[in-house]
Amino acid sequence: MGKKTWIIATESRRLGGIVAAARRVSDSVSIAAVGSSDLASEVASYGADRVVAFVASDDVPVEPLGPCVAEFIAADGTDIALSNDSGSARCILGAVAGAIGAAVVGNAQALSLDGDNVVADNLIANAKAIEAVSAPRMACIYTGPDDDRIEGSAAAIECAPVPSIEDRAIGFEEATGTGLATASRVVGVGMGLATRDNLPLIDALADAMGAELACTLPCCDDMRWYPSERVLGSSHNTASPDLYIAVGISGSPNHTSGFRDAKTAVAVNNDPDAEIFNCCKYGIVGDLFDVVPALTEAFK
Ligand SMILES: Cc1cc2nc3c(=O)[nH]c(=O)nc-3n(C[C@H](O)[C@H](O)[C@H](O)COP(=O)(O)OP(=O)(O)OC[C@H]3O[C@@H](n4cnc5c(N)ncnc54)[C@H](O)[C@@H]3O)c2cc1C
């Protein structure tokens, strides 16, 4: 077999499944525990051969340790790097992928070997299809089944030297709870809204419906209309409301996977061929600037 795997852990969520997936293709499985020293003790019982702690104090975000973790892992000659889908772990995984020249897979469900290549089953197309990605070196965000931790004695913990980080958190604020996870009605905003000035149109609809607001990634990252807590999709949040209304959203699988479990989804889009119509029970083909005020009146 001969593959060597490093797992980036900034928390223990899904770690049992990740270690089990790594074991199926590797002789050697190590965990880089990036965070508090308690984290290293916690992950040491998950069945890895080696645990290396990259300790950051509580007021330091772990992401700046990415280059240091990447350098350490690359020097160890690894073939596979894995992490869960938390933002901090993904950020460090990206640094490791660059350092080892690995192919990056965003939604790995399982790993296998094909000769010298690692094969990752990557979930695509709104979770309707799996593509097999094959490469000698692989960095994967693992979102597959979570197994119980492998029973065994805890691995000894080594401490890696870490640079002193100047970036410190200067305060903590409670995230404004969006209630998206439990909302029974959600209105999703897409780039079809075109400018910030048009957002009151959506506020009025959400008010009339008693709905939470969600958005697509560019409405957050590019336009800064909403904070990331409101982004629905593969790399952010999920919602399973009774009713989801997607307004001016094209229907990229990266977004639609975020409302996969909605009981009824409705799309408003002026392009009759928009992909979003394939993911919704009802489609309204029309200009949102006509349709949304009419819906608002109807809900009132
Ligand atoms: C690694 C990765 C992760 C990602 N993760 C996410 C994620 O978690 N969540 C997410 O949302 N995206 C994510 N994305 C981005 C995603 O791929 C899409 O680019 C994004 O969802 C598109 O946003 P949109 O539908 O708002 O914009 P667009 O694709 O620009 O669509 C706008 C739509 O509005 C319609 N429209 C325009 N004017 C009107 C009008 N007047 N009336 C009615 N309809 C109109 C258009 O026909 C079009 O269909 C990710 C991308 C990558 C690469």
Cβ atoms 4, 26 nearer than 8 A:
yes
Rg, Å, the chain Cα set: 22
Examine the domain organization and report whether 7 and 125 are in the same domain.
Answer: yes
- Atom of ligand 1 minimally distant from the CA of 271: 47
Q: What is the span of the domain harbouring residue 134?
A: 3-159
Examine the domain organization and report whether 149 and 193 are in the same domain.
Answer: no
Q: How many CB atoms lie within 10 A of CB 9?
A: 29
Examine the domain organization and report whether 9 and 151 are in the same domain.
Answer: yes
Is residue 214 in some structural domain?
yes
Is residue 166 in some structural domain?
no
Number of domains comprising the chain: 2
Q: Is the dihedral of CA 249, 254, 258, 264 positive or negative?
A: positive
Is residue 180 in some structural domain?
no
Report the percentage of the chain scoring pLDDT > 90: 74
pLDDT at 105: 94
- Atom of ligand 1 minimally distant from the CA of 250: 49
Is residue 49 in some structural domain?
yes
pLDDT at 169: 66
Task: Look at ligand 1, atom 41, and give the residue with the nearest C-alpha.
Answer: 287
Q: Find the helix or strand (DSSP H, E) in which 230 lies.
A: none
- Atom of ligand 1 minimally distant from the CA of 288: 42
Task: Look at ligand 1, atom 11, and give the residue with the nearest C-alpha.
Answer: 216
Task: Decide the pairing of beta strands 129-135 and 117-124.
Answer: antiparallel
- Atom of ligand 1 minimally distant from the CA of 235: 8
Is residue 18 in some structural domain?
yes
Is residue 79 in some structural domain?
yes
- Please give the distance of CA 148 from its chain centroid, rounded to a whole number: 21
Residues 246-282 have pLDDT tens digits of: 999 999 988 998 898 899 999 999 999 999 999 999 9
Residues 208-250 have pLDDT tens digits of: 999 999 999 999 989 999 998 899 987 778 899 999 999 999 9
Cβ atoms 144, 109 nearer than 8 A:
yes
Angle between helical axes of 66-75 and 87-100 (0-180°, round to 10): 40
Q: How many CB atoms lie within 10 A of CB 300?
A: 10
Q: Is the dihedral of CA 184, 185, 189, 195 positive or negative?
A: negative
Neighbouring-strand partners of residue 113: 118
Candidate from 91, 247, 252, 291 with most ligand 1 atoms within 8 A of CB, to mutate: 252
Candidate from 249, 256, 292 with most ligand 1 atoms within 8 A of CB, to mutate: 249
pLDDT at 176: 60
